[in-house]
């Protein structure tokens, strides 16, 4: 495993869980980073500042949101992880849970691309020849 690339991905999860979205983006995301969601009902492709706003908005919808990140592979400069967000909807809502797989490309200690997939097989399939 690429210890450094995995460390970047897990550090991002830790900063998110601490509610420090600005540090997560400013310290770990390249200014030219791209975020692409490949799920059937996914978000549009985003740049770094749009990713910042997406992550900030999570806390307004689910104030106690928590990200669990489980790294399952790290081929080349990519880190493949299973992600689970959980918490409780704002304004007295019920439990919220969202799961997906992601492939994060890290170069020189910065995230340059993150691709979101519906499941593990799609994510792994995107990084294997």
- Distant-in-sequence, close-in-space partners of 66: CB < 8 Å, separation ≥ 6: 17, 85, 86, 87
| Residue-number span of the structural domain to which 87 is assigned | 3-127
- Distant-in-sequence, close-in-space partners of 61: CB < 8 Å, separation ≥ 6: 89, 90, 96
Rounded to a whole number of angstroms, the CA Rg of the chain reads 14
Tell me the pTM. 0.93
CATH number at 104 reads 3.10.450.50
- Residue bearing tokens 């692409």: 36
Number of domain units in the chain: 1
CA distance 50 to 29: 12
Is the pLDDT at 1 greater than 80, yes or no? no
Per-residue model confidence as pLDDT tens digits over 21-71: 999 999 999 999 999 999 998 888 999 999 999 999 999 999 899 999 999
CA distance 24 to 9: 10
Q: What is the pLDDT of residue 129?
A: 61
Helix axes 3-17, 21-28, angle to 10 degrees: 160
CA distance 65 to 42: 19
Per-residue model confidence as pLDDT tens digits over 60-112: 999 899 999 999 999 989 999 999 999 999 877 789 999 999 999 999 999 99
């Amino acid at each position: 495993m690429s210890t450094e690339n995995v460390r970047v991905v897990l550090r991002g999860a830790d900063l998110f869980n601490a509610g420090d979205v600005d540090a997560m983006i400013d310290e770990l995301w390249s200014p030219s980073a791209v975020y692409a969601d490949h799920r059937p009902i996914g978000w549009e492709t985003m740049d770094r500042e749009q990713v910042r706003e997406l992550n900030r908005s999570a806390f307004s919808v689910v104030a106690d949101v928590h990200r669990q990140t489980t790294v399952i592979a790290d081929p080349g400069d990519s880190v493949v992880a299973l992600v689970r967000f959980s918490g409780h909807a704002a304004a007295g809502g019920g439990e919220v849970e969202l799961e997906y797989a992601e492939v994060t490309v890290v170069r020189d200690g910065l995230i340059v691309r993150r691709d979101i997939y519906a499941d593990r097989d799609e994510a792994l399939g995107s990084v294997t020849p």
